[in-house]
Amino acid sequence: MSELPASPLVSLRDIVKTYHRGQQTVPVLGGITFDIDAGEFLALMGPSGSGKSTLLNLIAGIDRPDSGQLVIGGVDIGVLDEAELADWRAQNVGFIFQFYNLMPVLSALENVELPLLLKDMTRRERRERALLALEMVGLADRAEHAPSELSGGQQQRVAIARALITDPTLIVADEPTGDLDRESANDILHLMQRLNDEIGKTIVMVTHDSRAAGHAHAIMHLEKGELSGREEVRV
């Protein structure tokens, strides 16, 4: 078999991000360069305020760098306008948040279905797919429950189903277990590992917790807006 030249799925070059607080400028990311391969499960670690979330938001296309180039899946997302970027996110990114960010007025099933509203699909197709995704996270029996009727771990599983439903190229997770007890956290991490192993999803996860990071393939360390090292995780 002839192999294609392996180009990374995500490529960051000299990414700089500064926040302005009044007159003050707060440098957050000072020229970050690295690649993420397709199929990777990468953990981003670092002290609070080191810029982990900022970096993740840039990769997810919900924030823009001041300078530098960000190419994901062959697309330079820096040149997209807001509407194009929104479309790009809908196609390519699945989000998992620390506080789940489900719509409280929608049922578990409807929450999972939500991203499919942006696709050209019948109501029935949407339902079927959402149910399938809920099944994958083991919550098919909770389809009609409101988020408030679910535990934190269950809500996060619904959120994972929502992140999966559009079959995105990339899943980003900002402290997905930050609000969960150890047991629920383990469930979530195993689930994410399965997504990575079984369906080959590329995952970038920010975490404080080294045990959580241990589920990833590799850990990137961020310190005051600079990369301070990368370690491979041995299973």
Place of tokens 């490529």: 11
Q: Does 99 bind ligand ATP (CB under 6 A)?
A: no
Which one of the spans 32-40, 97-105, 148-156, 212-220 is the region binding another protein (CB under 8 A)?
97-105
The angle, 0 to 180 degrees and rounded to 10, between the axes of the packed helices 182-199 and 152-164 is 20
Q: Tally helices (H) and strands (E) across the chain.
A: 7, 10
**Cβ atoms of 227 and 30 closer than 8 Å:** no
Check: CB of residue 37 under 8 Å from CB of residue 9: yes
Tell me the C-alpha distance between 56 and 187, whole Å.
Answer: 23
Residues at the interface with Mg ion (CB under 5 A): 53
> Strands across the sheet with 24-36, in order?
24-36, 10-21, 67-72, 75-76
Element (H, E) at 135: helix 123-136
Give the nearer residue to ligand ATP in terms of CB position, either 47 or 138.
47
> Which single residue is written with the structure tokens 């970050």?
32
Question: Which of 9, 32, 50, 70 touches ligand ATP by CB under 6 A?
Answer: 50
Query: Under the criterion CB under 6 A, does residue 177 sit at the interface with ligand ATP?
Result: no
**If binding is defined by CB under 6 A, does position 26 make contact with ligand ATP?**
yes
Q: How many residues at the interface with another protein, by CB under 8 A?
A: 25
Q: Least CB distance from residue 220 to ligand ATP, whole Å?
A: 12
**Single residue of 11, 15, 54, 112 touching ligand ATP by CB under 6 A:** 54
In the complex, the smallest distance separating the C-beta of residue 202 from ligand ATP, rounded to whole angstroms, is 20
- The least distance separating Mg ion from the CB of residue 148, rounded to whole angstroms, comes to 25
Binding region for another protein (CB under 8 A): 57, 60, 62-63, 83, 86-87, 89-91, 95, 97, 99, 101, 103-106, 110, 113-115, 117-118, 162
